[in-house]
Structure 1
Amino acid sequence: MKTDIEIAQTSHGVPITDIAEKLNLSTDEVEQYGHLKAKIKTSVLNRLKDRPDGKLILVTSINPTNAGEGKSTVTIGLGDALNALGKQAVIALREPSLGPVMGTKGGATGGGYSQVMPMADINLHFTGDMHAITTANNTLSALIDNHIYQGNELQIDPRRVIWKRVLDINDRSLRQTTIGLGGLKQGVPREEQFEITVASEIMAVICLAKNLADLTSRLSNIIIGYTFQNEPITVGDLNAEGVLTLLLKDALKPNLVQTLYQTPAFIHGGPFGNIAHGCNSVVATKMALKLGDFVVTEAGFGADLGAEKFLDIKVPILEKAPDAIVIVATIRALKMHGGVPHDELTIENPEALKLGVANLEKHVQNMQKYGLPVIVAVNQFTSDTDKELALLTRLCEDLGAIVEITSSWSDGYQGSLALAEKVISIIEEDSSDFEAVYSFGMTIEEKAETIVKELYGGDGVFFTDKAKEQIEIFKKYGWDRLPICMAKTQFSLSDDPKKVGRPSEFTVVIRELVPKMGAGFIVAFTGDIMTMPSLPKEPAALKMSVDSNGSIKGLF
């Protein structure tokens, strides 16, 4: 079979104006970025404000492994299959970050015959959203340090600046730096940290803002640091929200592309699921709901991270809960959760599969706690045996979950037709009864305890002295009533990436809390989770190139 990039390069697509016309968008609502990409003006939401929302399908997964799960591939295949069945389906995904693309993943636009296109453009610079967010973030950093240098009227304590510079590439050398060296005219020396762009609060703000006015308001509320008297300083205090909005006005507009089968796809925003809320933008999702009858979206990493944050952080702002949840699992990944090493995954091993299903079971139970119908999508690999597929199907049925095997990677939309039919059937039953697992009125301690005990299966939470001190400060300003965004390893239900499967008898350590007042949540850092990833020994970037004809190689 051809590689992902080879399939993408032989699929030319239709003009993006044809896709926009399919969605009944007017020409003045579409801003073209070449032949296959466009930004859609947010005024569409005003025009369609009275149109009922379509049905929303959230695709999530088990805890990821390096065996691969294929959540985006299933999401895209499901959207294509729904369209093939005569439904007006729209897909809503996150934008890839260059960090993982150049690091280990090599690409994030689906795979095989279940892709969004133009694949190379989306994975690289796309429409410039990431660059706009990086620029806005670092403009704010420059304004902060200039304010301190120029007399520091706001009395910002350089030791308590919590706003960090960002870069959309994995660079471990920038995790801890010192700036302002070189003498009096070079600025005020202080320690600084870089984060990856998708960890910036501005990314979260872009993804949660409802419109331009809300964007400005949220930017104004961002905490940049504290005074010498330990009082919070905001972007509004610095009077910087105007220029930040200016730099982000186009980035707020959702990006419209298409799949290999011409299904409309909004790809907009890309916060990480382990250090941020892991969902595409509210504006793009809402726009898709107004333009389509069925919307298929996904949330980052496993259901313990992305799906939990979608349901507890995004849903209250979106004002629309999913009508169905699809949990993606693979036999390969479940065998890894059952203790099988990577080089033995192609060997039939029913016993390991049974052990690994415990991880899937927990995620199914978690989504059912929200009152939502659950479907397990088994993403089939060529190494899967009939015996293993039959066993997994039976085990899922024993869990009380509907299950369907999907093969959209190799078979395109045809490989997801059965899954699409089951999704339609469940939604037509109208069996969802959404209820959040915690209320915003709970304390920080209560919300964290609820997430750990109810969704992770742990015994409780341990707060470090630093975290306890921060909680007292947050209570003073009323920030403790915000939702919690857990920054946790994606590889385990616990805060230890080595504890695969369904661990028990563990305590999650929250070492630090960071107020994200623009985004409207508190980030709780657990374990050794970092906001600036690193490159592996052999980065995917070293296999990428472009020939004399401009054809890209090595992007997969």
Structure 2
Amino acid sequence: MAPQPPEDDAVDEPASDLAVARAVDPRPIESVAADLGLRPADVEPRGDGVAKLTLDAVRSATGSADAADGTTVLVTGMTPTPKGEGKTVTTVGLGQALARLGESTAVAVREPSLGPVFGIKGGAAGGGYSQVLPMEAINLHFTGDIHALTAAHNLIAAALDNHLHQGNDAEIDVRRVAWPRALDVNDRALRETVVGLGGPARGVPRENEFVITAASELMAVLGLAADIADLKARIGRIVLAEDADGDPITPADLGVAGAAAALLRDAFRPNLVQTVEGVPALVHGGPFANIAHGTNTLVADRVGASLADYLVTEAGFGADLGAEKFAHIVAREGIVPDIAVVVATVRGAKRHGLEMWPTDFDALDATDPEAVRAGAKNVARHVEVVQSFGIPAVVGINVFPDDSEADLNALESALREINISVARSTAYRDGGEGATGLAELVSERAGTGSFAPLYDLDASIREKIETVAREVYGADGVAYVDGAESDLERVEEWGYGDLPVCVSKTPYSFSDDASLTGVPEGWTLTVREVSPSAGAGFVVVKTADVMTMPGLPAKPAAERIDVNDDGNVTGLF
């Protein structure tokens, strides 16, 4: 049974996320599965309240003629502050609200990486009365999917260096090895490394690097694979390096695609858990939202959409990144949103209205309706981005405990004046009950659009980049520097010109400059590098140096996380 949110409006916020999670008497995971029409034989328990779907269950759910026919709700957002605006809380709360309205509902979110858990954010499973359970397990190792990805990634790296050591029959150019090593922690000291030192017995010396596992192309491959055969084929297509003639070298060339796929056999199967209110939740995959598409796995979405009347899924960062990539990459695989919720906050709007960078959160505490109204233009632009794909959009205002009524009214009225549908959500404090107004709005508007991508796959890569730059970001044009034009030519020569593009830029502005707030005008997108993620099935377009191995902050969350003598974890929140 779920704990009850406070009834007294004077109580501004619930207990800690961890305290809320521990107060829940969770339903047996078999009962949660039954809500989706799954039998006990369709799930493999992995501890209290956690199960993996069997491969047979996945095939049955995704392989029928009417698969993925539920209503898909995509949760995206405005241009965020560094602390985020609460998309996961809104996703979980909206799922719970739809269930309260009598709808069969599934929630789908990404798995937390240990990097953010021990770095800045702490736990990453939603919050308050809108979180997924068991919170500790999900944040700490969970079912081992990310560790399996780390092992598979490093197996490929080891095979590549072994090939160099054993004679290099493929004539790999050691100066053009692109495949790093991976680790699921934040460790800035490993951003640039040298391997193979110490003499001939220790390999061939070359420069290398580490990325956090969420940034591995294998994570994106897992996120978009349709089945085991597709998973193995995608792994085999990953570009690891170039040979002496400038042609790509892949895991298939090295003969290790099957071994890597074997390590990911169980990781491919979606994880089933539940929300605080017992709603089925699929927590699976976790690709970066800049160099990858930033959402949970395609297979989890397909299972949820086929087994529930409503699937509520989430995309990373704002609509300019997450929703755009969902539309151009994920939707082409068959998961088309019927409606999108753009999550907005008073503090986010205020940051844009005050043209603030870097973000001073103490300064955002002051009530300032005029700044909120000015910043609402950023929210409205994200709504326009979603609607440009033919997807209906509504705004969900994620209410924080300290938000003033004046600021909330300013944001609501500014959006309604330009005919944007909006509802408040107090899902953090009140669970599903706090998001029922938003759920009713979603039910009313879902399915009223007609989806269409902004570019065709047969357009050139340059045309795709410029379409996203102009139509989504609002740029005047695109400038290619640092060899990006040569990159374009090489990627198309290799045969990847018919893939969608995945633009990597700052999430803190529509532009490629984080300091440009609101809706910037009169600027040019600068492209510095273009490279194939051939296994994932897209071309990565980098507009700046991309941080693929974060560092720990001055006071990392790891310093407050502990375990007592009884094995109880503290400090996640």
Aligned counterpart, 2:210: 194
| 1:61 is aligned to 2:74 | no
CA–CA distance in structure 1, aligned partners of residues 523 and 140 of structure 2: 40
Are positions 1:5 and 2:22 aligned together? no
Residue of structure 1 in register with 2:182 after alignment: 166
CA distance in 1, matches of 2:182, 2:395: 37
Indicate the residue corresponding to 2:65 in structure 1: 50
1:338 matches 2:357: no
Q: Which has the higher mean CA deviation after the structures are superposed, 46-55 or 465-474? A: 46-55
Aligned to 2:488: 471
Contact 2:247 / 2:494 at 8 angstroms: preserved in 1? no
Task: Please name the residue that 1:518 is paired with.
Answer: 535
The Cα shift of 1:465 comes to 4.1
Matches within 5 A, 1:308-457: 308-317=324-333, 319-339=334-354, 341-427=360-446, 430-457=447-474
Q: 2:525 aligns with which of 478, 490, 508?
A: 508
2:89 matched to which residue of 1? 73
Q: Distance in 2 between matches of 1:236 and 1:313?
A: 24
Question: Hey, what's the Cα distance between the residues in 1 that align with 2:562 and 2:306?
Answer: 40
CA contact (8 A) 1:496 1:527 kept: no
- The match for 1:241 is 257
Picking from 216, 219, 225, the partner of 2:241 is: 225
> For the residues of structure 1 that align with 2:503 and 2:258, how far apart are their CA atoms?
30
Contact preservation (8 Å) 1:67, 1:342: no
Partner of 2:161: 145
Structure 2: runs of 5+ lacking an equivalent = 1-13
**Matches of 1:14 and 1:38, distance apart in 2:** 13
CA distance in structure 1 between the aligned counterparts of 2:257 and 2:31, rounded to whole angstroms = 37
Partner of 1:484: 501
Cα distance 1:271–1:67, how it changes in 2: closer, same or farther (>3 A)? closer
Runs of 4+ more than 4 Å apart: none
Aligned to 2:36: 23
Residue in 2 that maps onto 1:458: 475
Distance 2:156 2:59 in 1: 31
Contact 2:58 2:269 (C-alpha < 8 Å) held by counterparts? no
Query: TM-score when scaled to structure 1?
Result: 0.98
CA offsets, 1:152-203, max 9 Å, x none? 1111111111111111111111111101101111110000011110111110
Letter in 1 for 2:216: S
User: Would you say the 8 A contact 1:67–1:333 is kept in 2?
Assistant: no
The CA distance in 2 between the partners of 1:42 and 1:497, in whole Å, is 43
Matched with 2:5 is none
Write the distance in 1 (CA, Å) between the matches of 2:482 and 2:119: 35
Amino acid at match of 2:419: G
Cα distance in structure 2, aligned partners of 1:78 and 1:88: 12
Q: What is the percent sequence identity of the aligned residues?
A: 46
TM-score, L = length of structure 2: 0.95
Deviates more, 1:332-341 or 1:407-416: 332-341
Pick aligned residue for 1:116 from 121, 132, 154: 132
Distance 1:117 1:296 in 2: 16
Match of 2:47 in 1: 34
Work out the CA distance in 2 between the residues paired with 1:133 and 1:518: 14
Length, aligned pairs only? 553
> What corresponds to 2:230 in structure 1?
214
Residue 260 in structure 1 maps to residue 312 in structure 2: no
Q: Residue 67 of structure 1: CA displacement?
A: 5.0
1:278 matched to 2:309: no
Amino acid at match of 1:309: K
Q: Which one-letter code corresponds to 1:332 in the other structure?
A: R
SS at match of 2:432: helix
1:54–1:292 contact (8 Å) kept in structure 2: yes
Query: What SS class does the counterpart of residue 387 from structure 2 fall into?
Result: helix
Structure 1, unmatched stretches of 5+, are none
**Matched letter for residue 39 of structure 2:** S
1:39–1:253 CA contact under 8 A, matched in 2:
yes
Aligned partners of 2:527 and 2:542 also within 8 Å: yes
Q: 1 CA distance for matches of 2:137 and 2:482?
A: 46
CA contact (8 A) 2:482 2:529 kept: no
Once the two structures are TM-superposed, the CA of residue 42 in structure 1 deviates from its matched residue by: 3.2
Deviations 1:504-544 (A, max 9, x none): 22212111112111111111111232211121111111111
The question of whether the paired residues in 1 share the 8 Å contact of 2:478 and 2:524 is answered with yes
Indicate the residue corresponding to 2:566 in structure 1.
Answer: 549
SS at match of 2:362: helix
> Which of 538, 543, 549 is matched with 2:555 structurally?
538
User: For residues 57 and 286 of structure 1, what CA distance do their matches in structure 2 show?
Assistant: 13
Per the TM alignment, residue 59 of structure 1 is displaced from its structure 2 partner at its CA by 0.3
SS at match of 1:480: coil
Code of the aligned partner of 1:232: P
**Residues 32 and 280 of structure 2 are in contact (CA less than 8 Å); yes or no, is this contact kept in structure 1?**
yes
Q: 1:224 to 1:550 in 2, by over 3 A?
A: same
Q: How much does 1:321 deviate?
A: 1.0
* C-alpha contact 2:274 2:281 (8 A) present in aligned 1: yes
Q: Secondary structure at the match of 1:242?
A: helix
Amino acid at match of 1:12: D
**Is the 1:67–1:332 Cα contact (8 Å) retained in structure 2?**
no
Q: Give secondary structure in 2 for the equivalent of 1:182.
A: coil
C-alpha separation in 2, matches of 1:465 and 1:382: 47
Query: How far apart in 2 are the matches of 1:274 and 1:227?
Result: 28
For the Cα contact (< 8 Å) 2:385–2:472, is it kept in 1? Answer: yes
Letter paired with 2:367: E
Q: Quick one: which amino acid aligns to residue 70 of structure 2?
A: G
